[in-house]
Amino acid sequence: MKGIAVFYKPKGWSSYDLIRFLKKELKEKKIGHGGTLDPQAEGVLIIGIKKEGTKQLTEFLKGKEKEYIATIVLGAQSSTYDDEGEITYLKIEKWPTQEEIKEVLNNFKGEILQTPPPYSAIKISGKRAYELAREGKEIELKPRKVFLKEVLLLNYSLPQSKGAGLLAEIKVKLKVGSGFYVRSFANDLGEKLNTGAFLKELIRTKVGEFSISEAISPDDFKRGNLELYFKAYGWVQGVGFRFFCQKWAGLLGISGKAENLEDGGIEIIGQGNEKNLQEFLDKILEGPPAAKVEKVFYYFRKPQTSYLGFEIY
């Protein structure tokens, strides 16, 4: 496997846990990721495999928006801005209404200043902020400009009665630019609502054009439940490219399709295990003798539909 792949980082795994898993499975040292996810978060993590993939990470992800579903607790504060830290419960005399929450959420939209969480991976004098925080050292993280394009309140659950130790929950959908910390957003939201708040759950649902429905879980990978999406341009139509793909798919036990596109390109989807898909990719990158591949775009993902054989359109 080489190039870009869309993976699902499970809750409880660090981003590097997923890299470590892939290094072991692929027996490959050069693997990187684009955009760290906290261990308690889950969802889309874009992986670059071998030199081809790690070089593409910046190109694929530069300036790309990220989308999250966040569950935020109201009525308490956390030292880490999430449920892993020391929780301080607050006595709330009046819980905000749904309309008040929506109004405050909308005030966060656009370019804002945000201070990263004290327990973050940002380096200060060569050490991670979370390492210094765990040593009990005082750290000062400077606010930075971040961008919140879209925020939508999905749900608001009030506690049954007023009082200390009672918690409310909201669920929001966020579309953000690079460098945005959802934990800091949760903490800042609590301050604006006068309720305190911390992040309970976080799911990254999209990075650029790559969505959670495409994300390969570790179990998918082990079962060989993978799909190669490939698009090529150049002299690729009228040269037997689709039949060339069908031949190799049959030899390698790969299902999928090959289709000529109206813009002069060819789209190929292959489904199978990692080893066979990689061999299939190597063959179609070379193409049939009469073809001339000038521009390609491909990545690995979870199958989006099911094919019985290899079809030509």
The DSSP code sequence of 196-213 is: -EEEEEEEEEEETTEEGG
The DSSP code sequence of 228-283 is: EEEEEEEE-SSSSHHHHHHHHHHHHT-EEEEEE-TTS-EEEEEEE-HHHHHHHHHH
Q: In this predicted model, what pLDDT tens digit does every residue of 24-62 receive, in sequence order?
A: 999 999 999 988 898 899 999 999 999 888 888 887 788
Annotated catalytic residue within 17, 38, 188, 219: 38
Q: What domains are defined for the chain?
A: 3-64+208-216 (3.30.70), 66-197 (3.30.2350.10), 224-312 (3.30.70.100)
| Cβ–Cβ under 8 Å, residues 3 and 299 | yes
**Both tokens of residue 225?**
């439940």
Whether the pLDDT of residue 72 is over 70: the answer is yes
The rounded distance, in Å, linking the Cα atoms of 206 and 68 is 7
Residue 207's beta-bridge partner residues? Answer: 66, 210
> What is the per-residue pLDDT for 159?
85
> What is the per-residue pLDDT for 161?
55
Annotated catalytic, 38?
yes
| Helix (H) / strand (E) containing 193 | helix 182-193
Confidence of residue 118 (pLDDT cuts 50, 70, 90): confident
Q: Report which of residues 204 and 179 the model is more confident about.
A: 204
Q: Amino acid identity of 212?
A: I
- Region 228-257 average pLDDT: 97
Q: Which residue has 């870009």 as its token pair? A: 4
The proportion of the chain whose per-residue pLDDT surpasses 90, expressed as a percent, equals 78
The rounded distance, in Å, linking the Cα atoms of 129 and 135 is 10
Predicted structure pTM score? 0.90
- Region 12-16 average pLDDT: 93
Q: Report which of residues 138 and 265 the model is more confident about.
A: 265
> What is the per-residue pLDDT for 249?
98
Q: Report which of residues 197 and 34 the model is more confident about.
A: 197
The proportion of the chain whose per-residue pLDDT surpasses 70, expressed as a percent, equals 91
Q: In this predicted model, what pLDDT tens digit does every residue of 139-173 receive, in sequence order?
A: 666 889 999 999 999 999 988 655 556 899 999 99
Whether the pLDDT of residue 67 is over 60: the answer is yes
